A and B are shown apart, each in its own frame.
Chain A
Amino acid sequence: MKHIISLLMENEAGALSRVAGLFSARAYNIESLTVAPTEDATLSRMTIVTSGSDEVIEQIIKQLNKLVDVVKVLDLNDGRYIERELMLVKVKATGALREEMKRISDIFRGRIIDVADGSYTIELTGSGSKLDAFLEALDKTVILETVRTGASGIGRGDRILKV
C-alpha cells in the first residue's frame, strides 16, 4: 500500500543523503521525496511517498527514526491528512488545441501560466492521483513536457508535526 511519511530532520549537510541512502541500501521503494527548510531554519521537513506491506512500512518508520539526524517521523496514513503536489505541464496549443487545452485546464482547476505561439504551460496542484488523472485526460501527443514536485503532506486538524 502507498504511504506518505513526513519527517523533521536537522537541517545539516548530508542529512538528505542519509535518508536517500537508507532507502536504497534497504531496497525500500521511493516514489517521491521532497525536502525544504521549515520556518525554523535548523529543521528540514521531508515528505516521502513509498509503498510496501505493513511490515515493510513499520521497518521504514523504525529505520528512519534510527537515523541520528531525524527528529520526528509521522506516517500520515495513520490518520487523516491532506496531500498536495504541484505539476507544470507544457502542452501543444495550436489551432483548435488552443481552445481545448484551456477547457481541460479549467476543468481540473489548472492555471495557464505561460502562453507561447505553439504552447501553453499549465500549473496544477492537487493529490498525486488528480495530477495523474489530468495527464490521462490529455492526448499523449500534445504533452511536450511535464515536471512534478512530488507530494507534500500535512495532517488534518490537530495532527501537528512539530518539535
Chain B
Amino acid sequence: MDDSNQQKVGQISGAEIIMRCLQEENVKFVFGYPGGAVLHIYDALFKQKHFKHILVRHEQAAVHAADAFSRATGEVGVALVTSGPGATNAVTGIATAYMDSIPMVVISGQVPTAAIGMDAFQEVDMVGVTRPCVKHNFLIKDVHDIAITLKKAFYIAASGRPGPVVVDIPKDITAEFAEFDYPKSVEMRSYTPVTKGHSGQIKKAVKILLEAKRPMIYTGGGLVLGDASNELVKLARTLDYPVTNTLMGLGGYPATDKQYVGMLGMHGTYEANNAMQDCDVLLAVGARFDDRVVGNPDHFLSVPRTIIHIDVDPSSISKRVKVDVPIVGHVQSVLGEMNELLAAETKKPDASALKSWWAKIDGWRAKNTSSYDGSSSSIIKPQYVIEKLCEVTKGDAFVTSDVGQHQMWAAQYYKFDKPRRWINSGGLGTMGVGLPYAMGCQLAYPDAQVACVTGEGSIQMNIQELSTCKQFHLPIKVILLNNRYLGMVRQWQEFFYENRYSESYMDSLPDFVKLAESYGHVGMNIEKPGDVEGALQDAFAMKDKFVFMNFMTDQKENVFPMVPNGKGLSEMILGSDPNANDAVDEMEG
C-alpha cells in the first residue's frame, strides 16, 4: 500500500479530485448542504470557481432542485449532502428521481472508513438505504477510485434508461492524496445499454402502422427524456394519426396541435381514453402502461389490438400489458428510422378508415369534458387560474407542480407545446417538489418564466426554500391554488368514503403574503375571478421578483374526468354529469 496520507508532487486531495471530476463533467450547479463528513469537500469547493454551489435549506430540496435542473436541460443534475441525516433527508429526492428516470449524481459524505459499522456519529448505511431507489450506487474505499467511480456514475446516470446514482464517500478518503487522471470514457462489461432498435422489428412496426384502421400514438416520459419530440411530430404528421401524452410525457407532442387528443389516464380526456381503449393499433413510445394510465389492465386488454412498444428499457416492455411488437432501443433513433422507412414507403395509411376514425374521435371531443362551470363572479375556479396562467405566459413558461388536484389541473389546462417545460413528480407523486423544482428550472434558465403551481398542503412541505430563492434572486412565480384542503385526498373521501373528510382539511394556514414578504418577496392575495388575469399580468411583469400568488379557490372543486381505481379507461366519470358523485357511488357499489 502506498501512503496516500502524504502529498507527493502531482497529487491532490480526494476532495480536490471530486471538484476536478465535476469540472470535467461540465457541471454548472451543485445543490447541497454542508456537514461534518463533507467538510473537506466544502473546503475544496470554496477554492474552485467552475461551478456554482446552491445552498438550499433542506437536503430534500437540494436533490429535487438538481432533479429539476436535469428535467429542464437534459443534463445530469448534481447534489451534495453530508452523512447520516443529510443523506437520509436526500432519500425522498432520490426516490422521486428514480421513479421518473431522471439522470442525477448524488454525492453523500460518509463517516471515516475506520468508523464504518461502528454506529459512529452521523453514520447511516447510505448504499443500503438507497439501494432500492437508485439506478446504481457506490461506496468509495480508496482515494484512487474517486475519479473512475465518478466517471462511471455520470455515465450510468445518463445512459440507457437514465436514473439517479449515489456515490458515498468516507471523509478520510477525501483528505488523502492521489494523482488526478480522469478517464475519457468508461467501458463496463456488465453494463452495455442498447441504442439502436432491431431493424426487422422496426420494419414490421411500420408495416402494421400503415395497415391500421383505428391507430393511436401514446407517448410518455421516455420520449421527453430521449429528446425525440421532433421525430414524433414528424411521424405523427406523416401519418395523420392521433396522439396522446401521459402526465410525464406532456409537451412531447404540441398540445395545441389538432392531432393531439389530450392527456390520457386517470384524469385524462374523454377522447384520449376512449381512443386508447378503442384503437386497433397502438404505438407506445417511452411509456410504461402504468396503473394510472391504463387503469385496469384486464379491461384494457379485453379489446383486441396490436401493440407496438418502443422503449430503451427491456424490463418496461410487457411488464403490465403484453405487447406484440417490442422494440428495445433509444426512442429518438427508432422513431428516426421509422420516419426514414415511411419516407421511402409507397403505401399510405388507409384514408377512408382514418377519416371515420377521426370522425369518431371528434365525436368524443365534442363532449368537451374539460369544460367547467366558470360562471361564478365570486369564487375562483382553479381551472380558470391555470387557463389564464397559460395565456399570460403565452404557453411558454416552465411550469413545475406539486402533487394533488392542482397538479392535475395544471396538466389539463396548461397547453405545453414543448418538451421539458412541464416538471412534476409523476411516479412517486412527492408533495413538496414544486418549489425546489422551480429553483432548478430558474437557475437553468435565468430569463425564462417559471411558475410553480402548488397547493397549500404541498407548498408547506418545502416552504423553507423561500429563503434559498431570496439568496439567489430567483424570480419564480408561485401559483398557489389555495382550497384549504388536501384536495386530492378530500376528493377521494368524497367519492369513496361518504364525505368523511378524515384529516384532509388544511387549517391554521400562515398568511402567505406576509410570509413571502418576510423573505423580501412579493405576496399577493387574489380572491375574485375578475382579479385573476390582472394579478397574473402584474406578477409576470415583475421580471426580477419572486412573487407568491395566493389564489383563494373553490374549496369543493373536483378533478374530472376520473377513472376510478381498478376501472377501465372507458369507464370515466365526467364532471359534466349532473350526478357525477352519484355515478361514483354506483360504481363503488
Where the two chains meet, the residues of A that have a C-beta atom closer than 8 Å to any C-beta of B are 9-10, 13-14, 17-18, 21, 25, 55, 58-59, 62-63, 65-66, 68-71, 163
Contact = CB atoms under 8 A, between A and B. Distances in A.
A66 B190 contact: no
A68 B190 contact: yes
Given A55-B322, A66-B313, A14 B127 contact: yes
Contacts of A68: 135-136, 156, 188, 190-191
Contacts of A55: 318, 322
Interface string B314-326: 1100110010000
Given A9-B190, A10-B190, 14 more contacts: A13-B139, A14-B127, A14-B131, A14-B139, A17-B128, A18-B131, A55-B322, A66-B315, A68-B135, A68-B136, A68-B156, A68-B191, A71-B190, A163-B189
A68 B156 CA distance: 8
Contacts of B131: 14, 17-18, 21
Contacts of B132: 21, 25
Given A55-B322, A68-B135, A62 B315 contact: yes
16 contacts: A14-B127, A17-B131, A18-B131, A21-B131, A25-B132, A55-B322, A59-B319, A62-B315, A63-B315, A65-B315, A66-B313, A68-B156, A68-B188, A69-B136, A70-B190, A163-B189
Interface residues of B, number: 18
Give chain B's interface secondary structure class: mixed
Contact of A58 (B188, B190, B313, B318): B318
Nearest to A72: B190
Contacts of A9: 190
Nearest to B141: A13
Nearest to A68: B136
Nearest to A26: B132
B190 to A, nearest CB: 4
Interface in B120-145: 127-128, 131-132, 135-136, 139
Counting chain B CB atoms within 10 Å of each CB, the highest count among A58, A66, A69, A70 belongs to A66
Give chain A's interface secondary structure class: helix
A14 B127 CA distance: 9
A71 B315 contact: no
Contacts of A18: 131
Interface string B175-193: 0000000000000111100
A25 B98 CA distance: 15
Contact of B314 (A21, A65, A69): A65
Counting chain B CB atoms within 10 Å of each CB, the highest count among A59, A68, A163 belongs to A68
Contacts, number: 37
Contacts of A163: 189
Contacts of A65: 314-315
B190 A69 contact: yes
Nearest to B131: A21
Q: Kindly list the 6 A-B residue pairs having the minimum CB-CB distance in the complex, ordered from nearest.
A: A62-B315, A68-B136, A71-B190, A68-B191, A25-B132, A62-B314
Interface in B99-154: 127-128, 131-132, 135-136, 139
A58 B314 CA distance: 10
Interface in B234-265: none
Counting chain A CB atoms within 10 Å of each CB, the highest count among B313, B315, B319 belongs to B315
Contacts of B188: 68
A36 B189 CA distance: 19
B194 to A, nearest CB: 11
A10 B138 CA distance: 13
Interface in B305-364: 313-315, 318-319, 322
Contacts of B191: 68
Contacts of B318: 55, 58
Contacts of A70: 190
A16 to B, nearest CB: 12
A127 to B, nearest CB: 30
A13 B137 CA distance: 11
A140 to B, nearest CB: 40
Contacts of B314: 62, 65-66
Contacts of B319: 59
Nearest to A18: B131
A105 to B, nearest CB: 43
A23 to B, nearest CB: 11
A21 B322 CA distance: 26
Nearest to B314: A62
A28 B189 CA distance: 26
A65 B315 CA distance: 9
B300 to A, nearest CB: 16
Contacts of B128: 17
B203 to A, nearest CB: 24
Interface in B184-234: 188-191
A19 to B, nearest CB: 11
Contact of A71 (B127, B135, B189): B189
Interface string B58-99: 000000000000000000000000000000000000000000
B127 to A, nearest CB: 6
Contacts of B315: 59, 62-63, 65-66
A70 B189 CA distance: 9
A121 to B, nearest CB: 36
A55 B321 CA distance: 10
A9 B191 CA distance: 11
Interface in B542-581: none
A64 B570 CA distance: 35
A67 B188 CA distance: 12
A63 B131 CA distance: 14
Nearest to B135: A68
A69 B135 CA distance: 11
Contacts of A71: 189-190
Nearest to B191: A68
B137 to A, nearest CB: 8
A53 to B, nearest CB: 12
Nearest to B322: A55
B187 to A, nearest CB: 13
Contacts of B136: 68-69
